[in-house]
Amino acid sequence: MVSDKTIARLSLYRRLLKVLEGEGVRSVFSQQLATMAGGTAAQLRRDLMEVGYSGTPNNGYEVARLADSIRDFLDVPGGQSVVLVGVGNLGKALLSYFATRRSSLQVVAAFDSDPYKVNRVIHGCRCYPMDSLSEVLKGQTATVAVIAVPAAGAQGVAEALTRAGVRGILNFAPVRLRVSPNVYVEDIDMTVALEKVAYFGRPIAGRTRKEPPA
Cα 137 to the center of its chain, rounded Å: 21
55 binds, among DNA, its own copies, none (CB under 5 to 8 A by kind): DNA
Please give the Cα distance from 175 to 172 (Å, whole number).
Answer: 8
Residue 121's CB: how many other CB atoms inside 10 A?
A: 9
For position 57 contacting DNA by CB under 7 A, the verdict is yes
Contact 126, 119 (CB under 8 A): yes
122 binds, among its own copies, DNA, none (CB under 5 to 8 A by kind): none
Q: Which of 94, 127, 133, 137 binds its own copies (CB under 8 A)?
A: 94
| Beta carbon of residue 48, minimum distance to DNA (angstroms, whole number) | 6
First to last CA, the chain: 45
| Beta carbon of residue 104, minimum distance to its own copies (angstroms, whole number) | 8
For position 54 contacting DNA by CB under 7 A, the verdict is yes
Give the DSSP H or E segment for 71: helix 63-74
**Helices 4-22 and 63-74 sit at what angle, rounded to 10 degrees?**
140
Contact 85, 95 (CB under 8 A): no
Q: Which of 19, 25, 31, 99 binds DNA (CB under 7 A)?
A: 31
- For its own copies, give the closer residue by CB, 130 or 169: 169
167 binds, among DNA, its own copies, none (CB under 5 to 8 A by kind): its own copies
For position 55 contacting DNA by CB under 7 A, the verdict is yes
Could you tell me which residues come within 8 angstroms of residue 200 by beta carbon, excluding any fewer than 6 positions away?
206
Q: Which of 64, 102, 129, 155 binds its own copies (CB under 8 A)?
A: 102
For position 132 contacting DNA by CB under 7 A, the verdict is no
Looking only at residues 157 through 196 of this chain, which bind its own copies when binding is defined by CB under 8 A?
A: 166-170, 174, 176, 182-186, 188-196
